[in-house]
């Protein structure tokens, strides 16, 4: 299968003029770090940085992200959204929807989302979600406004988890789900197109939360939320417009959570 290059990606995105800069690397420390460098050099939105391999890729809470060369899709988008700082989570909502919609358009697979930032496929045999990808949104603020944001997206396209003992029971690739190799460029183009379509209407899209919530597997069920040393048991009743998870705790109080590790209870 043909490897990705900057020229190939530019050609695939030529009918999406909102993408004003494309950089692709065979190997890079972190696409998010490179996109941040572009932001600090006053690069206009939307800029795309992608890589075949990340040597220092990271996920939420600074966890490492496994990106083997040529088998995954690692990309970051630099945006300068005209939304208040308090609505930064809407970018993660948008990116999650764009990812699952783009993957579905490219492959026919219907995937789901796990609050706050995971792309998942349900393991029907074991009734637990397998991670297909993840989103990491990092923003710089100026007062109450977002100066810029970098949205990192990692998708397991053709990754083989067979030799990864610590990952094979919790992660899965599109190749595993489909049973055949998947064209990374096709998925990249579909995801970027879906992202741009939604980003154009970010400020006025009143249905973004509803569309995102409809894909969340955590809602309307018992959950366990790990918040550092604190553990909250309760019922995930919904999400608010800013993306916070609303958990009705066992003590009856409704907790508004902006971060945390959520485990589904088998109920």
Per-residue model confidence as pLDDT tens digits over 229-249: 888 899 999 999 889 999 999
Where is 150: in which H helix or E strand?
A: strand 145-156
Residue 267 confidence class, pLDDT cut points 50, 70, 90: very low
**pLDDT of the residue at 266:** 46
- Indicate if 33 and 64 belong to the same structural domain: yes
Model confidence at 194: pLDDT above 80: yes
Instruction: Please state the rounded mean pLDDT for residues 185-213.
Output: 94
Is residue 247 one of the residues assigned to a domain?
yes
Instruction: Please state the rounded mean pLDDT for residues 253-263.
Output: 82
- Indicate if 235 and 129 belong to the same structural domain: no
Is the separation of the CB atoms in 171 and 152 below 8 Å?
Answer: no
Is residue 1 one of the residues assigned to a domain?
no
- Indicate if 191 and 253 belong to the same structural domain: no
- 80-100 pLDDT, tens digit per residue, is 999 999 999 999 999 999 999
- Indicate if 149 and 135 belong to the same structural domain: yes
Q: Which among 142, 96, 145, 127 has a CA at the least distance from the CA of 221?
A: 127
Domain that holds residue 31: 6-215
Domain count for the chain: 2
What percent of the chain has pLDDT above 90?
Answer: 74
Task: Write down how long the chain is.
Answer: 267
Instruction: Please state the rounded mean pLDDT for residues 123-145.
Output: 87
Model confidence at 227: pLDDT above 90: no
Instruction: Please state the rounded mean pLDDT for residues 41-60.
Output: 88
**pLDDT of the residue at 58:** 62
Instruction: Please state the rounded mean pLDDT for residues 47-70.
Output: 77
- Indicate if 229 and 179 belong to the same structural domain: no
Q: Which among 85, 90, 104, 9 has a CA at the least distance from the CA of 51?
A: 9
**pLDDT of the residue at 119:** 98
């Amino acid at each position: 299968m043909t490897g990705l290059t900057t020229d190939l990606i530019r050609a695939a995105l030529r009918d999406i003029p909102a993408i004003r800069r494309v950089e692709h690397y065979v190997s890079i420390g972190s696409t998010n770090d490179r996109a941040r460098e572009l932001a600090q050099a006053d690069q206009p939105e939307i800029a795309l940085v992608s890589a075949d391999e990340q040597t220092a890729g990271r996920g939420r809470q600074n966890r490492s992200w496994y990106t083997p060369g040529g088998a995954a899709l690692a990309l970051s988008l630099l945006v300068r959204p005209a939304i208040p700082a308090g609505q930064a989570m809407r970018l993660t909502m948008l990116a999650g929807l764009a990812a699952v919609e783009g993957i579905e358009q490219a492959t026919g697979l219907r995937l789901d989302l796990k609050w706050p930032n995971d792309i998942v496929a349900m393991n029907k045999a074991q009734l637990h979600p397998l991670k297909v990808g993840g989103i990491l949104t990092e923003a710089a603020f100026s007062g109450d406004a977002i100066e810029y944001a970098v949205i990192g997206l990692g998708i397991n396209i053709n990754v083989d988890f067979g030799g990864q003992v610590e990952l094979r029971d919790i992660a899965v690739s599109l190749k595993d789900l489909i049973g055949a190799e998947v064209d990374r460029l096709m998925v990249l183009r579909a995801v970027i197109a879906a992202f741009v379509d939604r980003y154009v209407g970010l400020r006025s899209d009143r249905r973004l939360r509803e569309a995102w919530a409809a894909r969340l597997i955590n809602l309307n069920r018992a959950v366990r939320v790990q918040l550092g040393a604190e553990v909250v048991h309760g019922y995930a009743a919904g999400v608010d417009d800013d993306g916070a998870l609303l958990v009705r705790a066992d003590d009856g109080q409704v907790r508004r959570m902006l971060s945390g590790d959520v485990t589904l209870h088998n109920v």
